[in-house]
Structure 1
Amino acid sequence: MALRTLIRHLHYMWASFILKVHVILDSVVKTAGPLYILLALSLLSCIIYLYYTAVLPAVHQLNSVEGITHLILSIWLIYNVFFNYYWCIQTDPGSPPLDFDVGAGMSQYESGAPISQMRWCKRCRKPKPPMTHHCHICKRCILKMDHHCPWMHNCIGFYNYRYFLVFLLYLWTGCIYTVYMASIPLFGTASQEQTTDKVNGVLFTFVLSLAVFGSLSCLLGWHIYLVLTSQTTIDFYSNRQRRKEARRSGQVWVNEFDVGKIQNLRNVLDSKGDRLWWLKIWLPLRILPRGDGIHFPSRYGSSDTGAGGNQSSRHISAPNSYSSGAASSSREAVSIERVLADGEDNWRPANMV
């Protein structure tokens, strides 16, 4: 008995220690946010300065047609990088509204899902829409939260995820462009003789851009995969666990928010259903995402954000609420599981067919 009490006491002390470490780390990340932004701006400014003072003059004469063309192209890339970076930092990712309630208006959905299936945040003490998670750094629930980014000093969520994705795309493209331009005087023929300082500047630009390009390739590829499969980084790990549990029970788990790769991409990048929505990626535009961050299109049929309707509703439906009665019951076997990926009391049904 004494040994069990000692073990229980040690376990409690260890859990308390881990909790304190998490609190300290969260505070450090939040406090260091402006320093991360300053570091990011310093790296970008360093590459830009070296490009215009060492790389571009080594490849083309600045008063030539080629030089002016590359000057315009580089300015366009730089402007888009800083434009999306700024608005990703400045845009609030969004939180569930204060009057958000699941108790009223449930009859409008033909799911028959009980309230016990709703996801609940024990810290904010209110229900959470699908893909909403509590950020331990921001101390609030974030709509469609992907992660807390220290480089942005902000959460990446529903309202600023498009800026984050486009920022990565332009920064990745800019790195490819800079690596290519710097490789010409290093491995090819330069337009004029270079001093040692300029050669070192070109070499440093090449190495730094190549390193950033390698890191961004992994990060951008990961987020493109998440967009095409209609997931967030947090939900990916939760969905993977559900998929494993379904496989063990002889069933197949299905992500109901995955409505096809092209449509998933449009749900992130296209806000108004324009036919030429993909052209807006190439322009520095402030665009709000489609929907309200509470309701999402479902592969079983939806009449909310995907179609532009019911956007004023403040009531959350269970993830199976978009299914039509008989078809839903015949295609899904619903099981309740506790999701601990974000350390919350987080109840949500897993879709299995």
Structure 2
Amino acid sequence: MFGRLGDTCSLWYWTFFHNHFATSSYIADTLFEPLFWLLEAIAKKAGPIFVTLVTLLTTSVVVIFYSYILPWNAAYWSTPALTINLIIGHWLLLNIVFHYYMAVTTSPGVPPSNVDSPVSICKSCIVPKPPRTHHCSVCKKCVLKMDHHCPWINNCVGHYNHRYFYLFCVYMSSGTIFVCISIYNQFMSYFYGSVGTFFSSLIFPIVSIFIAAYKPPEYFGSTDSSNMPIILTTEELRTRFWVTYEFFLCIAVTFALGTLTVWHGMLISKAETSIEKHINVKEKERMSELGATFKNPYSFGFFENWKIFLGIEVGSGRSIRHVLLPSAHKPTGDGKSWRMSTRKTD
């Protein structure tokens, strides 16, 4: 009797828990599934908060620039330098606002119900998937040429808004560098009285902010020729605080967003998305074990990949002007089928 019971329990155990395809990676994915669900729920709920945060931080940088930086530059810069500064600044601002708005509001593209040449069936949507299409667990839908889900735009980055997203990263990184350059002399003059070295300027302002929080205004500021502290007015303290805030915020964004921009630029150069990067790495390893070489079928070389991505390839009727100035032109193709490069293989 006990033997039969043991056999029955063993049968139940193997029925419910045994999987011939189970691997360590499969088990790890299963164990972390609740964590993935939590992160997806947070990303979905926090998306509008991130968009609001980007809007508020960008607005604060622009307002501070007009209120505190531009008047100082107008007083100390030459007319040609100020004119060039204004032209570059407004050109960057126009591109930042345009590309961010388009990245947020443009649908990345979803596959139709009838696909001519599907490569697989989505396990979640139960619909045919075209090449380069992947399911977004946050948006709960398949996305054409999906790169990733970005909470900072509360949207997926896919076929129809990938260019908007990347150019926003480029122009925002360039804009923060532009602000750092524009504000540098003013920043140094406030805390040193003259222009000093760049790295030494990163230490004293932080200390000054803490001093201002615990000491009266007469303890805050530089000294005159008699080595006596200069008493600063409330307006001067406010100016120094906002200048410091702007300088360090732009430095932080430059490093963080600049790194992301470089990473995506490398992917675009190889005609890959973030998802395809991981897939292709595994495919290279598999082909290497078979003694073969993997080639990305969607890559046409460095320059042609960039032209295709930016939508300025030969015959498109567009040029670099459509990259340097805001342009709402659509990407090449419909996202359902892709032109593939042909190579001679051994």
**TM-score, length basis structure 2:** 0.74
For the pair 1:222 / 2:223, whether they are aligned, the reply is no
Percentage identity across aligned positions? 30
For the pair 1:262 / 2:262, whether they are aligned, the reply is no
Supply the distance in 2 between the matched residues of 1:133 and 1:214 (Cα, whole angstroms): 30
For the pair 1:292 / 2:293, whether they are aligned, the reply is no
- Any unmatched runs of 5+ in structure 2? 1-5, 196-231
Higher Cα Rg: structure 1 or 2?
Answer: 2
- The aligned counterpart of 2:60 is 46
**2:94 pairs with one of 70, 75, 79:** 79
Q: 8 Å contact 1:258–1:299 — kept in the other structure? A: yes
Supply the distance in 1 between the matched residues of 2:28 and 2:152 (Cα, whole angstroms): 31
Matches within 5 A, 1:222-241: 222-241=263-282
Cα shift readout 1:69-92 (whole Å, capped 9, x = no counterpart): 433432221121011100111111
Please state whether the residue corresponding to 1:277 is helix, strand or coil: coil
Q: 8 Å contact 2:312–2:318 — kept in the other structure? A: no
- The aligned counterpart of 1:209 is 250
Deviation for aligned residue 1:275: 6.6
**1:89 pairs with one of 95, 104, 109:** 104
Supply the distance in 1 between the matched residues of 2:115 and 2:158 (Cα, whole angstroms): 18
Deviation for aligned residue 1:94: 0.4
Deviation for aligned residue 1:218: 0.8
Supply the distance in 2 between the matched residues of 1:73 and 1:15 (Cα, whole angstroms): 48
Q: 8 Å contact 2:114–2:128 — kept in the other structure? A: no
Tell me: CA distance 1:15–1:274, structure 2 relative to 1, closer, same or farther (3 Å): closer
- The aligned counterpart of 1:337 is none
Please state whether the residue corresponding to 1:45 is helix, strand or coil: helix
Supply the distance in 1 between the matched residues of 2:299 and 2:106 (Cα, whole angstroms): 26
Q: What letter matches 2:155 in structure 1?
A: N
Larger RCO of the pair (alpha carbons < 8 Å, separation 6+): 1
- The aligned counterpart of 1:142 is 143
Deviation for aligned residue 1:207: 0.7
- The aligned counterpart of 1:348 is none
Q: What letter matches 1:287 in structure 2?
A: H
Please state whether the residue corresponding to 2:299 is helix, strand or coil: coil
Matches within 5 A, 1:1-353: 5=13, 8=17, 18-61=32-75, 64=79, 66-102=81-117, 118-187=119-188, 195-270=236-311, 273-274=315-316, 277-300=319-342, 331=345
Deviation for aligned residue 1:120: 2.2
Tell me: CA distance 1:151–1:159, structure 2 relative to 1, closer, same or farther (3 Å): same
Deviation for aligned residue 1:149: 0.6
| Aligned residue pair count | 287
Please state whether the residue corresponding to 2:91 is helix, strand or coil: helix
Q: 8 Å contact 2:113–2:128 — kept in the other structure? A: no
Deviation for aligned residue 1:298: 1.6
Structure richer in helix, relative to its length: 2
Tell me: CA distance 1:75–1:15, structure 2 relative to 1, closer, same or farther (3 Å): closer
Aligned-pair RMSD on alpha carbons?
Answer: 3.0
Deviation for aligned residue 1:178: 0.5
Please state whether the residue corresponding to 1:195 is helix, strand or coil: helix
Please state whether the residue corresponding to 2:142 is helix, strand or coil: strand
- Any unmatched runs of 5+ in structure 1? 104-117, 301-322, 332-352
Supply the distance in 1 between the matched residues of 2:156 and 2:93 (Cα, whole angstroms): 23
